[in-house]
Chain A
Amino acid sequence: MTELTADETAEADRAQSFVVFRLGGEGYALEVLRVQEVLDVLSITEVPGASRSLLGVINLRGHVVPVYDLRIPFGLPVDAKPARAPSVLIVETEAGNDSDVTGLLVDRVSDVLEFAPDQVQPSPQLGLGKTTPFVRGLIRHQDAFLLVLDVDRVFSVLATINGEGV
């Protein structure tokens, strides 16, 4: 056990890989370890009566997986006809648990980049609007900022939204 913790600390010192994607005109980053794969959406089955953030369910190699549109909880504008086909990030719902995955709809996945932990700045308490609770930090990248996503917070909020059925 103790060894493992040591490993983890070592891990924290090293650079981490992030999937970088665009959503509603912003750049986001998400630990690559939590992302199982990136899909191009073919067909999504709508779930009538579910929350607006639930786009529907897809067939991921024989498993039924829900796909969410983060623009609703993030308060981003939803354009009815997106210019290019959106991608779906298949994300592990709980860290280290590969049996439970959820799809997150994003506009475009652009890169996988490495950042050292000290490159991640704490996020400001104000100014990020509705996304504030979901952002874990900021990374300065190419004259712009990437918002580092806290997926666990995202999932817990999505779960409560589902519970309310709104």
Chain B
Amino acid sequence: MGSADDRFREMFYEEARELLISLEEGLMELERRQGDRAHLDKTFRAAHSLKGASAMVGLGSIAEFTHGIEAVLERIRIGSLAVDSDIITTLLESRDHLAAMIEGEAADSPIPGSGHLSQRLAALLTPPKPAPPPAAPAQPAASPAPVPTPPAASKPPAPKATAPEPPPRKPEPPAPEPAPTPEPPAAEAAAKPKRSRRKPEAEPKPKAPARPKAAERKTMPAAEEVEQGGPNESLYRIRFAPGPDVLKRGVNLLGVFDELRELGTLDVQADVEAVPTLDSFDPESCYLSWTCTLRTEVEPERLDDVFLFVFEDGAIGVERRLPGGSFEPVETPLLKLPRGTPVSSPPSAIVRPRAAAPAPEAESTPGEPAAAPALKPADAAATNGAARSGAGTPTPAARPHGRIRVDAQQLDDLVGLAGELAVISDNLQGLREVKSASPWGSTLEALLRVSREIRDTTLDLRMVPVDELFSRFPRFVRDQADRTGKEIELRIVGQETRLDRTIVERLGDPMIHLIRNAVDHALEPPEERLEKGKSRVGRITLSAGHEGDRVAIKVEDDGRGLDRERIVRKGIERGLIPYGTPADDPRVVSLIFEPGFSTRDQVSDMSGRGVGLDVVRDSVRALRGSLAVESAPGKGTAFIFRLPLTLALIDGLLIETGGGRYVVPLAQVEECVALGGVTQALSADRPCVTVRGELVPTVSLRGLFGITGTPPARQELLLTRHSGQRVGVAVDRLSGRVQAVIQSLGEGLHGLGRFSGATILGDGSVSLILDLAALVSESRLAENQSRNKPPAGMRAENVR
């Protein structure tokens, strides 16, 4: 009930969403690069963190379900389960279900845990086991009824299951041991059947190399049995020295010991050597290290779970007691993680610097969300860890700058304020010109400079890498490929390009639309591609990059390309282009953006391109961008979005018409010509002029706004492009260039498409921002309607 509790939950949901993204990315990556240890660990950690976090906020069923996922990942991690696309599919579906559960909780309408998926997860765990685990109840956790298996398989069951049997069966559990060596071949083997929906028969392959090694160890368990009371118990000595900042990161060290205690019999000894004298004592630093003796049945890998978070910021060494009483170092996947350490480990207890964890991340996809899971512990550590990293913990290799989460609304407010500040200082600039000799001239100068810098920096805060947009498509393309039975490779280029947050958010749907089109209609099925001499696998490329002051985002495929003949036929049929238009006319391609073009019978008629493309184009226009298409028959098609870097600020032209001042975005104006200098091409009521020999239809702003009175003798014509054609907009006067901070006109005025917003000019007055494209289509509409009406009729109603 308490609001603190709510906030806690809110934080959980936020974090969970990030972890879900990370999990999905990890799974996708896992399929592509099976041998990649770092990714596997990252993915596992995402699942593990999610489990921990949900258990912490009391969402038991979510934690339980996540545990199933984690268990499968754990099996992959220790090398006893080979990745194939079926497993990934199951894991991805489980992830989706998990996402639904979490969103359900967030929306207060819990979705029950799915027994079906849990069973599928459990099934993944069982095949390599020779016998169904009879010792399932080993895990007393309240598991949902239909899923007794996953918890059992993931944790210590291996030895347990075999416990009643004679020692020779023991080779099974040590399988994890060979992880580093046999992995590459295993990965290769598994990589081949990439898309094939094969049942996990590939199973034995990765394990084959494991056998000999396991055999070497075979003797040990038997001996241990004699040494130690329990049948499968081992004695571990764990040296654990957390970094000095571990407490500041909020790690509960007692929890670590509690977890260890759950594994078996624990004895802990603290080393207080490092505790300084009182005057240099920092109560928030951890000076202690511990030596733990643990007698347990579980595999050493299980210890990873316990030390997962502490590990990043400390040193841990694990040794197992050998029959003779001496200790040998144990390497778990986590402990092995940093370098490809050879199996023969250093003689002394291993002290592992934590640089380990961040390193693989850096090498993984450079995208931002990918780094999400590491964000909380590692980042926090990076910020205050650098100064006082203790003996065993070298500073992490230059981690990227710390990040904080900011409320989007506050950010927008800040941007607004910064814009206002810039305007106010512009006003001051004007004042200064009045009294040029005033003593505060230099102060004003400084104020101007600072306020401009504040504005720029603030605008920059809104910028995010397009990767936030791109990163959701690998999964999407995978699903689409599955759905259509096509083989598709997705390439992503330039994901570090930064763009306004709002643009990135609103570009999602248009891109999904284009990608779906590409998969459904542009890319050929594998056989057809082979026939055409193309590679079997179709390719879709998403790329982003700068083009002058704009960002270009491209969705490209190497499929069929647009069928111009058909588009022309269709266009003529619908009266959009004149009869006899050749297929190479530049107008042809723009036809696919016509509303409703080819929505019906499209699939057979023109390979479906153009379905709702007008909607895509409109949404890009709303972002003050443009959409272009390039296509070569048989080679493929590219859709190119060209977008402004930011939505908050535009370069504009200040114009005047009939006493009113308006701003026209510079990006919409190709050229300005004096109307006096051009000749009226046709009679007066057909407003066309010739500009350097080209016939250009014109729209009069006075006419559209219903302004009476005589225009000045010398009007200006703004040339813009509309549906690939040049159109002129006549205005009274050009008054110069302005930088405008755009403000929305508010909901009440949404109906007025001709204005894309308003801005406050240097003198404090409000000026409306014209949308030339909307103005032109409006006048076109008015023209069409006036065919049935007296010319002035329709406009008159709209005019005050």
Contacts and interface: CB of A to CB of B under 8 A. Distances in A.
B749 A166 contact: no
A64 B767 CA distance: 9
Given A59-B765, A64-B743, A50 B752 contact: yes
Interface string B749-773: 1111011001110001111100000
A148 interface: no
Contacts of A166: 797-798
Interface stretch (A10-18, A82-90, A131-139, A156-164): A156-164
B678 to A, nearest CB: 25
A81 interface: no
A14 B295 CA distance: 74
Contacts of B660: 45-46, 48
A159 B417 CA distance: 28
B751 A66 contact: no
Contacts of B768: 45, 47, 57
A47 B748 contact: no
Contacts of B760: 59, 62, 64
B765 A162 contact: no
B420 interface: yes
B695 to A, nearest CB: 28
A43 B661 CA distance: 13
A81 B781 CA distance: 35
A45 B800 contact: no
A166 B796 CA distance: 11
Given A45-B767, A49-B705, A162 B743 contact: no
Contacts of A100: 746
A164 B749 CA distance: 11
A106 interface: no
A49 B707 CA distance: 11
Contacts of A59: 760, 764-766
Contact of B752 (A46, A63, A165): A165
A86 B701 CA distance: 30
A58 interface: yes
A71 to B, nearest CB: 14
B766 A58 contact: yes
B411 to A, nearest CB: 15
A163 B750 CA distance: 8
Interface in B764-800: 764-768, 797-800
Chain A contact patch, size range? 20 to 34
B765 A48 contact: no
B5 interface: no
Interface in A108-122: none
Contacts of B754: 49
B751 A47 contact: no
A59 B764 CA distance: 7
Interface string A52-67: 1010111101111110
B392 interface: no
Contacts of B751: 162-165
Nearest to B421: A62
Nearest to B746: A66
B327 to A, nearest CB: 62
Interface string A138-166: 00000000000000000000110011111
Nearest to A162: B748
A100 B745 CA distance: 11
Majority DSSP secondary structure for residues of B touching A: mixed
Contacts of B765: 43, 45, 59
A59 B797 CA distance: 28
B770 to A, nearest CB: 10
A159 B760 CA distance: 24
Contacts of B752: 47, 49-50, 165
B766 A54 contact: no
B706 interface: yes
Contacts of B262: none
Contact of B705 (A43, A48, A158, A164): A48
B545 interface: no
A65 to B, nearest CB: 8
B416 interface: yes
Given A59-B760, A165-B798, A45 B749 contact: no
A158 B751 CA distance: 13
B657 to A, nearest CB: 9
Nearest to A63: B743
Contacts of B758: 45, 57, 64
* Interface hub of A45, A48, A59, A62 (most chain B Cβ within 10 A): A48
A31 B640 CA distance: 53
A60 to B, nearest CB: 9
A62 B419 CA distance: 9
A163 B196 CA distance: 54
B433 interface: no
Interface string A22-60: 000000000000000000000101111110101011110
B6 interface: no
B751 to A, nearest CB: 5
Interface string A63-102: 1111000000000000000000000000000000000101
A158 B746 CA distance: 13
Nearest to B657: A48
A59 B745 CA distance: 12
Nearest to A44: B766
Nearest to B758: A64
B745 A64 contact: yes
Contacts of A57: 745, 758, 766, 768
B423 interface: yes
A166 B800 CA distance: 9
A54 B749 contact: yes
Contacts of B420: 61-62
A46 B768 CA distance: 9
* Interface hub of B706, B707, B758 (most chain A Cβ within 10 A): B758
A99 to B, nearest CB: 9
B705 A50 contact: no
A54 B800 CA distance: 10
B793 to A, nearest CB: 14
Contacts of B798: 49, 165-166
Contacts of B216: none
A62 B423 contact: yes
Contact of A62 (B416, B747, B749, B750): B416
A162 B749 contact: yes
Contact of A66 (B749, B764, B799): B749
A15 to B, nearest CB: 33
A49 to B, nearest CB: 5
Given A62-B420, A64-B758, A52 B800 contact: yes
Nearest to B419: A62
A128 B748 CA distance: 27
B423 A50 contact: no
B743 A47 contact: no
B128 to A, nearest CB: 56
Contacts of A66: 745-746, 748-749
Given A45-B766, A57-B758, A58-B766, A102 B748 contact: yes
Given A59-B760, A66-B748, 11 more contacts: A47-B752, A48-B704, A49-B752, A49-B798, A49-B799, A50-B749, A52-B800, A62-B420, A158-B748, A159-B748, A162-B750
Q: Which 4 A-B pairs have the closest CB atoms?
A: A48-B705, A62-B420, A45-B766, A64-B758
Interface of A: 43, 45-50, 52, 54, 56-59, 61-66, 100, 102, 158-159, 162-166
Interface of B: 416-417, 419-420, 423-424, 660, 704-707, 743, 745-752, 754-755, 758-760, 764-768, 797-800
12 contacts: A45-B768, A47-B752, A48-B707, A49-B752, A52-B800, A57-B758, A57-B766, A61-B420, A62-B423, A62-B424, A159-B747, A165-B798
